[in-house]
Amino acid sequence: MHKLFARQLAKATKPSGEVDLNVLGELVISAYEESDRDQRRTDRSISLMIEELDQLNRDLGRMIEERTAALREREAQLQAQNLRFNAAVNNMSQALLMFDGLGRMVICNERYLRMYGVSLEVAKPGCTVRDLLEHRKVTGTFSGDTDEYIESLRASIAKGVTHAKLIELPDGRTVSVLNHPMDDGGWVATHEDITERRRTEKKIAHMAGHDSLSGLPNRMLFHERLAQALVGVQRGSQIGLLYLDLDRFKSVNDSLGHQIGDELLKVVAGRLRNCLREGDTVARVGGDEFAIIQVGIERPLDIAILARRIREAVRAPYDLAGHAVMIDTSIGIAMAPVDGIEADQLLKAADMALYGAKADGRGTHCFFEPAMDARMKARRALEIALRKALTAGDFDLHYQPFVSLEDNRITGCEALLRWTDPERGDIPPAEFIPVAEEIGLIVPLGEWVLRKACADAARWPSHIKVAVNLSPIQVMHQNLIPAVVSALASSGLAPERLEIEITESVLMHNTEMTIDALHRLRELGVRISMDDFGTGYSSLSYLRSFPFDKIKIDRCFISGLPDAKDSIAIVRAVAGLARNLNMIATAEGVETPQQREQVRALGCTEMQGFLFSRPLPVEQLSLLLEPYRVPLARSA
């Protein structure tokens, strides 16, 4: 019997042993009811569980879908990345290889295959550097020692440092190979063809060290070569340093144009190069300046022979675009170790020697002598004294009259600068004016001359002119016109009484600015004379560039009179030219009555020279001018 029913039966059994059916019935019914309740509860939790399971299932499904989508996306991304990586690797300008820790190749790009003409059969994953190098050795794209290469590569990678090598290929290409170590003991190799870059670098280096016009080494490279040569001197050898410039190159440039000038420099450069032996250096160190290092010399004569050879080569005539050109050169020579073992010292010595060569008359060579140093120092001292003289008032003007050849009467006086230094005494203008020009003192000094000459002349009879010499530097200076205007204004001198004398060298700087300055002076009413005519390079052409009022025929043509036939012809021609161009022709430096008669006969209209009067201090000149004073009433 079921235990529960037994208990219910027991409960419904009265003490009499009789079974109370009602009680039993109730008990059984309540037991059923209880059981029904349990059943319902169970059913409910089962259906809840099923619902939850369903939900879980749905969530899982969604999650799986999401994950799958994410994975697909990631896969697509990876694929794209791979494509990009492959494209990048294969389109690199460098060849790229990657090796694993066991030295087996993992990646090799197309550039590598193309660079060395290697096939995929050889450069397949898993191959080694040795495989590749041995193959390239056979096909001729590697000529080094394979074992040595691999050994040094391994050593670098083991140390964790980049292995870098420049490889010259048998076909002339240069490849820069870098092997970068990786953490796993492998390495990434890049090969870059740097042939073109090296060529460009070489070209740039050449350009930096060479002069583009002549193709010769420039000043910078010259200094390097000199430093190298001086190392040899320390070890006991001797070298010669020759410094040269072309005499009157500027005139060629100015009269025939810069193109012809450039052409001339090129040809000169070639001729100089041909004069040298291997190991010697010729450089262009300035406009028309060249410097030569002569190595392996034994005695000064060796350099003198070269200097002579150079002069002959430079002096040979040139045919430049149909123009026949002649040019000469002056050469300054210094030797190491005798004249110095420092570059600067030697260059200075050669420069001084060049200065000496020019002072000796152009077209020579000259060795440095210690006395030159002394002369240079004297020149420095002259510069200092000259600067002091202007403030100390040590300058004065003397006046030399010029006279009409018609009536032998004074028409004007030329102001000539005089300097009396307290220590040195009288110094001639030919000595100090070039120095004043070089140090720029000529501008203030020239202004002083202008002011003083105008002030003095304002006190002379009113038909007497005053001539003032201007140096090229003054003519080119922007203060010229104001200086002239101020000198005229403060003195009250009529502009027509002022004559400006310029030499042909002014016109050698035949810039628009020079000609413009002359025209502006002329517009003021000032007269312009061409001084020392005939001493320049291209005298007649200068006459065309400006309408002068007067030509002063240089003393050197007058001193040959009355006998020298060429002087006669020149003076006659120039005087004739002046007459035709409506200019006064003045003969300079007339010293004898015969010369005076002859210049008059040859057509000169004016003369100047010791015959009539030397340059005089202003007080003495005033006495000479006394007879020219007209009655006060007329001069006022």
Is 294 a binding residue for Mg ion by CB under 5 A? The answer is: no
The first and second tokens of residue 99, run together, are 């090796």
Is 606 a binding residue for Mg ion by CB under 5 A? The answer is: no
Pick the closest to residue 454 from 467, 438, 469, 439 (CA basis).
467
The interface region with ligand C2E, picked from 64-72, 157-165, 190-198, 463-471 by CB under 6 A, is: 463-471
Q: How far is residue 157's CA from residue 171's CA, in Å, rounded to a whole number?
A: 29
Neighbour count for residue 253 (Cβ, 10 Å): 20
As measured in angstroms, the least distance from the Cβ of 332 to ligand C2E is: 26
Among 8, 329, 469, 605, binds ligand C2E (CB under 6 A): 469
**536-595 positions binding Mg ion, by CB under 5 A:** 588
The first and second tokens of residue 300, run together, are 């000064």
The interface region with Mg ion, picked from 157-165, 345-353, 494-502, 597-605 by CB under 5 A, is: 494-502
The first and second tokens of residue 423, run together, are 């220590």
As measured in angstroms, the least distance from the Cβ of 494 to Mg ion is: 21
Among 428, 482, 576, 617, binds ligand C2E (CB under 6 A): 428
The interface region with ligand C2E, picked from 4-12, 232-240, 314-322, 425-433 by CB under 6 A, is: 425-433
The dihedrals phi and psi of 499, each to the nearest 5 degrees, come to -115, 130
Q: Which does 470 bind (CB under 5 to 8 A by kind): Mg ion, ligand C2E, none?
A: ligand C2E
Total residues interacting with ligand C2E, rule: CB under 6 A: 24
Judged by phi (left if over 0) then psi (alpha if -120 to 50, else beta), residue 603 lies in: left
Residue 226, judged by CB atoms within 10 A of its CB (0-12, 13-18, 19+), counts as buried
Indicate the helix (H) or strand (E) that contains 486.
helix 480-491
Binding mask 383-402 for ligand C2E (x = CB under 6 A): -----------------x--
Among 386, 416, 427, 578, binds ligand C2E (CB under 6 A): 416
Is 470 a binding residue for ligand C2E by CB under 6 A? The answer is: yes
Closest to Mg ion by CB, 347 vs 464, is 464
Total residues interacting with Mg ion, rule: CB under 5 A: 5
Among 531, 542, 558, 608, binds Mg ion (CB under 5 A): 531
Is 501 a binding residue for Mg ion by CB under 5 A? The answer is: yes
Is 591 a binding residue for ligand C2E by CB under 6 A? The answer is: yes
Closest to ligand C2E by CB, 353 vs 415, is 415
Q: In b/e form, how buried is each residue of 469-496, taking b as 16+ CB within 10 angstroms?
A: bbbbbbbebeebbebbeebbeebebebe
Among 469, 471, 491, 586, binds Mg ion (CB under 5 A): 469
Helix axes 129-139, 146-159, angle to 10 degrees: 150
Pick the closest to residue 284 from 223, 219, 344, 343 (CA basis).
219
Neighbour count for residue 167 (Cβ, 10 Å): 15
Is 499 a binding residue for ligand C2E by CB under 6 A? The answer is: no
Is 429 a binding residue for ligand C2E by CB under 6 A? The answer is: yes
| Half-sphere exposure at residue 184, Cβ-oriented, CA atoms within 13 angstroms | 11
What secondary structure letter does DSSP report for 480? H
Q: Which does 609 bind (CB under 5 to 8 A by kind): ligand C2E, Mg ion, none?
A: ligand C2E
As measured in angstroms, the least distance from the Cβ of 532 to Mg ion is: 4
Is 280 a binding residue for ligand C2E by CB under 6 A? The answer is: no
Q: Which does 247 bind (CB under 5 to 8 A by kind): ligand C2E, Mg ion, none?
A: none
The interface region with ligand C2E, picked from 90-98, 202-210, 410-418, 571-579 by CB under 6 A, is: 410-418
DSSP codes of every residue in 63-108: HHHHHHHHHHHHHHHHHHHHHHHHHHHHH-SSEEEEE-TTS-EEEE
Closest to ligand C2E by CB, 311 vs 596, is 596
Closest to Mg ion by CB, 109 vs 539, is 539
Q: How far is residue 381's CA from residue 374's CA, in Å, rounded to a whole number?
A: 10
Among 247, 351, 532, 606, binds ligand C2E (CB under 6 A): 532
Q: Which does 109 bind (CB under 5 to 8 A by kind): ligand C2E, Mg ion, none?
A: none
Going by DSSP bridges, is the β-strand pair 425-427/498-502 parallel, antiparallel, or unpaired? Answer: unpaired
Among 141, 531, 600, 621, binds ligand C2E (CB under 6 A): 531
Q: Which does 430 bind (CB under 5 to 8 A by kind): ligand C2E, Mg ion, none?
A: ligand C2E
Q: How far is residue 92's CA from residue 114's CA, in Å, rounded to a whole number?
A: 12
* Cα 132 off chain centre by: 48
The first and second tokens of residue 145, run together, are 């020692």
Q: How far is residue 44's CA from residue 34's CA, in Å, rounded to a whole number?
A: 15
- The binding site for Mg ion (CB under 5 A) comprises 469, 501, 531-532, 588
- The binding site for ligand C2E (CB under 6 A) comprises 400, 415-417, 428-430, 433, 446, 449, 469-471, 501, 531-532, 555, 588-589, 591, 608-610, 615
